[in-house]
Chains A and B, each alone.
Chain A
């Protein structure tokens, strides 16, 4: 039972254009959503997150949008650069009752290729 789904295994975009990576989830109790970026032979690197009480968070070229009613979030990268080529993982998390972190539940990832 996949609680976090990334239905597009790959995405190819021209340099300078917008990249939109999508993620759907099933559990309405998630408190945080995160995006991680992963280069080959490296561990995932935190990119950006959003709390479930917000609908948008922006950090430079990266913006995450959250649509709670649709249980959908997306990561926008504008403008896309060749160095953005990597696998992007969507993750979701619940906080435990004591305030400690719950599990990070990851999607399968989307491989983004930005062509020069």
Chain B
């Protein structure tokens, strides 16, 4: 009975390809997020969505685009993948308040 789920768990692909990572939450939360954990282990926010509106967008290349078909889903599309995109991507969700965010298990992306 997973609260925040992501697919796929592992993704290996070639440079230049376009790929998507899916995220679903069954917690009824209003806000969903995408984080990137790079090789230096920093967890950094990429996007968040609240009621289908993008409310945070850090300095992320426009090759990355979040898509939210409904409140329970926030998918991450990546175009023209580059070597530096290799990382673990975590989806998360939260209520507007309190501050706790619930994370998915992560998607390990390797770009060759």
CB contacts (< 8 Å) of B45 on chain A: these are 103-104
Determine whether the beta carbon of B97 is less than 8 Å from that of A99: yes
Q: A64–B103 Cα gap in the complex (Å)?
A: 21
Contact partner of A49 (CB less than 8 A), chosen from B58, B97, B100, B105, is: B100
Q: A44–B92 Cα gap in the complex (Å)?
A: 9
Tell me, yes or no, whether B64 is within 8 Å of chain A by CB. no
Tell me, yes or no, whether A88 is within 8 Å of chain B by CB. no
Determine whether the beta carbon of A100 is less than 8 Å from that of B101: no
Given the known A-B contacts A42-B105, A100-B55, are A106 and B100 also in contact in the complex, defined by CB atoms under 8 Å? no
Determine whether the beta carbon of A34 is less than 8 Å from that of B100: yes
Given the known A-B contacts A43-B90, A44-B90, A106-B42, are A100 and B105 also in contact in the complex, defined by CB atoms under 8 Å? no
Q: A109–B50 Cα gap in the complex (Å)?
A: 28
Tell me, yes or no, whether A70 is within 8 Å of chain B by CB. no
**Distance in Å from the Cβ of A93 to the closest Cβ of chain B?**
6
Determine whether the beta carbon of A46 is less than 8 Å from that of B96: no
Tell me, yes or no, whether A89 is within 8 Å of chain B by CB. yes
**Distance in Å from the Cβ of A101 to the closest Cβ of chain B?**
6
User: In the complex, how many residue pairs between chain A and chain B have their CB atoms under 8 Å apart?
Assistant: 52
Interface bin, chain A:
20 to 34
Which residues of A in the span 85-108 have a Cβ within 8 Å of any Cβ on B? 89, 93, 95, 99-104, 106, 108
Given the known A-B contacts A43-B106, A44-B103, A46-B101, are A99 and B43 also in contact in the complex, defined by CB atoms under 8 Å? no
CB contacts (< 8 Å) of B55 on chain A: these are 100
Tell me, yes or no, whether A65 is within 8 Å of chain B by CB. no
CB contacts (< 8 Å) of A49 on chain B: these are 98-100
**Distance in Å from the Cβ of A37 to the closest Cβ of chain B?**
11
CB contacts (< 8 Å) of B105 on chain A: these are 41-43
Determine whether the beta carbon of B99 is less than 8 Å from that of A34: yes
Determine whether the beta carbon of A99 is less than 8 Å from that of B100: no
Contact partner of B103 (CB less than 8 A), chosen from A43, A99, A102, A109, is: A43
Question: Would you list 8 pairs from A and B whose C-beta atoms are within 8 A, ordered by A residue?
Answer: A43-B92, A43-B103, A43-B106, A101-B31, A101-B96, A103-B56, A103-B58, A106-B43
Sorted nearest first, the 5 A-B pairs with minimum C-beta distance are A43-B103, A106-B43, A32-B99, A46-B100, A44-B103
